[in-house]
């Protein structure tokens, strides 16, 4: 490798390493006091915290809201305006005599939708992916 090529390579490496070093110094300014406060052994929790917050906001909270909606009846948007029905919806869900036959359910549409999904919508969707 010639001297000119070596100088050019070092020049480009310096251009790339300076912003990276600055970024790492900024991160170090933030993380070092946190590490002193909570200790080295608890630092993984700091890195997991954003993921746990995201998971809680977009998975756990909607699951809880849906559970509350499933325990109430009516068409109102706010839970406080809906009538509490308890486990009545789950009782009608499991009252079917034959789970493979959606028509055996008294007044439940859940198994009809599952049947529709498994035998018409899902294969069609898989064909679209091909």
> pLDDT by residue (tens digit) across 67-86?
888 888 888 888 889 898 88
Contact 121, 105 (CB under 8 A): no
Where does the chain have alpha helices with state H?
3-38, 43-55, 61-70, 88-93, 110-116, 122-129
Distances, alpha carbon 68 to alpha carbons 49, 116, 125, in Å: 26, 26, 31
- What residues are paired with 83 via a beta bridge? 73
Q: 15-72, pLDDT tens digit by residue?
A: 888 888 999 999 999 999 999 999 999 999 999 999 999 999 999 999 999 888 888 8
């Amino acid at each position: 490798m010639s001297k000119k090529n070596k100088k050019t390579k070092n020049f480009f490496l310096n251009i790339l390493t300076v912003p990276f070093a600055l970024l790492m110094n900024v991160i170090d300014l933030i993380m070092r006091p946190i590490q002193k406060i909570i200790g080295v052994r608890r630092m993984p929790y700091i890195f997991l915290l954003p993921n746990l917050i995201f998971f809680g906001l977009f998975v756990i909270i909607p699951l809880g809201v849906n559970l509350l909606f499933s325990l109430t009846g009516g068409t109102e948007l706010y839970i406080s305006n809906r009538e509490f029905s308890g486990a009545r919806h789950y009782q009608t869900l499991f009252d079917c005599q034959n789970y493979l036959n959606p028509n055996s359910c008294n007044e439940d549409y859940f198994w009809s939708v599952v049947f529709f999904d498994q035998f018409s919508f899902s294969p069609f969707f898989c064909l679209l992916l091909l």
